[in-house]
Amino acid sequence: MFLRTALLVLRKDAAIEAKSWEMLTTTVFFAVSAVLVFSFAFVKEGQPLEDAAAGILWIAVAFAGTLALGRTFERERYSETLRALLLAPAPRPALYVGKLLGILLVLGIAELLLTPLVALLFHAALFARPLLLAALLVTGTTGFACVGTLFAAMLVRARSRDVLLPILLYPITIPVIIAGVRGTSALLASPPDEATAMMWIGILMAFDAVFVTLALWTFEPLMTE
């Protein structure tokens, strides 16, 4: 029941997205243009700044994620479907999980494009350990998105929600970004520092466990009117 509801919410969002392609195109375009701005700033005379690639990859993911998070609930607000969603005889946390999966899907596709782009523009050996990089990206994005989905959902009814989402989201998720950046730059070292990367993946998994638990626990009381 729980998983089926979550998958139904995901399918609903995917169906809307497949019609308009709005969220995916805007998110990906924004992420790519952010990386381009960084490459103008940090590549001098053909030589990229050392260690810049890891930070730029994660900043692009965080910025694009904020944009996507704002959109996914804005859409529910415009068409006034949020109340219908909340009225459905389904466990509330399942709605949250469905929304979270949708965001993860969008960000995952954005990352598939971003990673080669950053590797290309910054001469970074991001694909030296593809599995470890994938693990870092998955755990890091989950940590970022699970807090983001919760706050974006709550902010739907607040005034000046566009400003408040980053204000709330960044202080809480900076640890995730730090762990992601450190882990990625450990992989970029030559030779890749696998032990350090594994340590940061472990820390990210601990973050994910804490954040997902807290979010599932607080989603229900937060979304009651």
Partner 1 sequence: MNRTFAPLVALAGILFASAPYLIAQAPYESTMGLVQKIFYFHVPSWMAMYTAIAVCGVSSAIYLFRGGKTADAYAVAGAEVAVLFGLMGLVTGPLWGRKAWGVWWQWDVRLTTALLMQLIFVSCLLVRKYGGPGSEKLAAATALFGAATAPFVYKSVDIWRTVHPKTSVVPELLKGSMPGSGLPFLVSALAFVLLATVLMMLRVDLAKRQASLDELYLAYEDS
The nearer residue to partner 1, 58 or 133, going by C-beta atoms, is: 58
The CB-of-42 to partner 1 minimum distance in angstroms stands at 20
Q: How far is the CB of 199 from partner 1 (least distance, A)?
A: 10
Q: Which two tokens stand for residue 175?
A: 């640890």
Nearer to partner 1, 14 or 91 (CB): 91
Minimum distance of partner 1 from residue 224's CB (angstroms): 9
* Minimum CB distance to partner 1, residue 145 (Å): 15
Phi and psi torsions of 44, nearest 5°? -115, 125
CB 3, min distance to partner 1, A: 25
Nearer to partner 1, 122 or 151 (CB): 151
> Which residues would be at the binding site for partner 1 (CB under 8 A)?
147, 150-151, 154-155, 157-160, 163-164, 167-168, 170-172, 174-175, 178, 210-211, 214, 218, 221-222
d(CA 118, CA 75): 30
Kindly write down the DSSP assignment for every residue of 1-21, as one continuous string. Answer: -HHHHHHHHHHHHHHHHHHH-
Contacts of 124 (CB under 8 A, 6+ apart): 48, 53, 54, 118, 188
Residue pair 165/158 in contact (Cβ under 8 Å)? The answer is no
Q: Give which of 174, 64, 57, 172 is closest to 124, Cα–Cα.
A: 57
In the bound state with partner 1, the residue whose beta carbon lies nearer, of 47 and 224, is 224
In the structure encoding, which two tokens stand for residue 144, read together? 């970022």
Which of 115/207 has CB closer to partner 1?
207
